[in-house]
Amino acid sequence: MESIDITRKLKEKGNEIADEVIKIRRWLHQHPELSAKEYETSKFVAGKLRDIGLEPQTGIADTGVVALVEGGKEGKTIAFRADMDALPITEMNDASYRSQNPGVMHACGHDTHVTNLLGAAMILSDPLIKTELPGSVKLIFQPSEEAFPGGARRMIEEGVLEKPDVVCVVAAHAFPFLDAGKIGLKDNIAMAAIDDFEVEIKGDGCHASTPHLGTDAIVAASHCIMNLQTIISRRIPPLESAVISIGMISGGTKSNILAESVRFKGTIRTLLPEVRVKIRKLFKDTIRCSAESLGCGYDIRYTEGYDSVYNSPEINEVCRTSITSILGADSVVTLTSPMMGSEDFSYFSKKLPCTVMRIGCKSPDRKFYPLHHNRFDVDESILPATAEVFAQVAFDLLEKYR
């Protein structure tokens, strides 16, 4: 069977399952679950895999699911990964498929990631298509991407890349900065490393009318926060991207009492390992000097998170061919800049050649909202097409590794 015939069959099957994948995505969107609590999602995914004749393994990293599509021809094994968890966000969309779980929302597109992989599984499991598949495809449905240390590490530790051994891993992420029908590819460093921190500034409370008799933790914390911003603007070369952001702050008990304690939490994003090490030292020095200069003590909890995600240029080149086969050359977008967002997919990219494709999901008929926004949504027309792209990538990568 010629490659052009395979591509035609993949498109035909994608068209056949188009309505079903939209239904799947809407069910997932209506039933979001937080990290490590993806129990119903896991059951749903396993049920869909059984419906198409696969034998899923469940309970990996507690709620993870893995299945194997075994092709009719001998060859290597590649893997696709989809993350399943949602975010603690109250959805504000009015769609009929809006979240039914109060305070939880698929605001990062993980519902579409699961749908894409289930759609690809449906296509690849078609008897006529599977017969021509030159190897096997492992389907990895991963929990806890949004919560450190992440589900990827646990799944790897529990052998998800073994039996059979996997030669490469491909993932995709919803990307509202590209129009639906476009797919972005970024070579080399694609996403930033992440470190998180929590700082407590310790003062000495007193009446607010006599601040000289105490030490004001709020003033000291304010100095810490402002001085931290100068690390990026004055201590890191402008071409070496990095971010320090404070996301939470709390302290004090009453308007006329100097706060004895202030806590703030935040995140640091870097691309290069040497910049990551440098910022770690500058961060601790800045907190120490800022707090002590105002007579306050301090505690720092600094957590080293995920490394940068590295996309293999060779895998990307295959994906470029696959996307062109399904959607046309105009649909491939070469991304020149990495994202400062982070992903536990980095655990996979440290082990094997990998890539994360960026799936454009911006609709021309809907206002744009970024990831993690309470009105984030996707253009559902991308779902069957992305499943087709996944299936074509599977064929092309397995041919590469034959």
Cα dihedral sign, 227-232-234-235: positive
CA dist., res. 171 & res. 345, Å (int): 8
Q: 1: pLDDT confidence band, cut at 50, 70 and 90?
A: very low
Please state the separation of Cα 209 from the chain's center in Å: 49
Pick the closest to residue 218 from 230, 208, 203 (CA basis). 203
**Superfamily of the domain at 3-191+308-400:** Zn peptidases (3.40.630.10)
Q: What is the CB neighbour count within 10 angstroms for residue 15?
A: 12
Model pLDDT, residue 365: 85
What ranges make up the beta strands (E) of 88-226?
A: 134-142, 169-179, 183-185, 188-191, 193-202
CA dist., res. 81 & res. 135, Å (int): 17
Of these residues, 97, 306, 310, 347, which one is catalytic?
Answer: 306
CA dist., res. 308 & res. 151, Å (int): 16
**In DSSP terms, which residues pair with 358 in a beta bridge?**
173, 184
pTM reported for the whole predicted model? 0.93
Right CATH for 193-304 from 3.20.20.70, 3.30.70.360, 3.30.390.50, 3.40.50.2020: 3.30.70.360
- Asked if domains 3-191+308-400 and 193-304 share a fold, the reply is no
User: Residue ranges per domain, the chain?
Assistant: 3-191+308-400, 193-304
For residue 246, give Cα distances in angstroms to 80, 88, 199, 234, 250: 34, 18, 10, 18, 12
Lookup: tokens for 121: 């599984």
- Model pLDDT for residues 130-175, shown as the tens digit of each residue: 999 999 999 999 999 999 889 999 999 999 999 999 999 999 999 9
Cβ neighbours for 306, distance < 8 A, ≥ 6 positions apart: 148, 150, 193, 194, 342, 343, 344, 346, 347
- Model pLDDT for residues 169-220, shown as the tens digit of each residue: 999 999 999 999 999 999 999 999 999 999 999 999 999 999 999 999 999 9
- Model pLDDT for residues 336-351, shown as the tens digit of each residue: 999 999 999 999 999 9
Cβ neighbours for 310, distance < 8 A, ≥ 6 positions apart: 188, 189, 190, 346, 349, 350, 354
CA dist., res. 84 & res. 380, Å (int): 18
The residue-averaged pLDDT of 57-67 equals 98
User: Is 298 annotated as catalytic?
Assistant: no
User: Is 343 annotated as catalytic?
Assistant: no
- Model pLDDT for residues 277-298, shown as the tens digit of each residue: 999 999 999 999 999 999 999 9
CA dist., res. 223 & res. 398, Å (int): 56
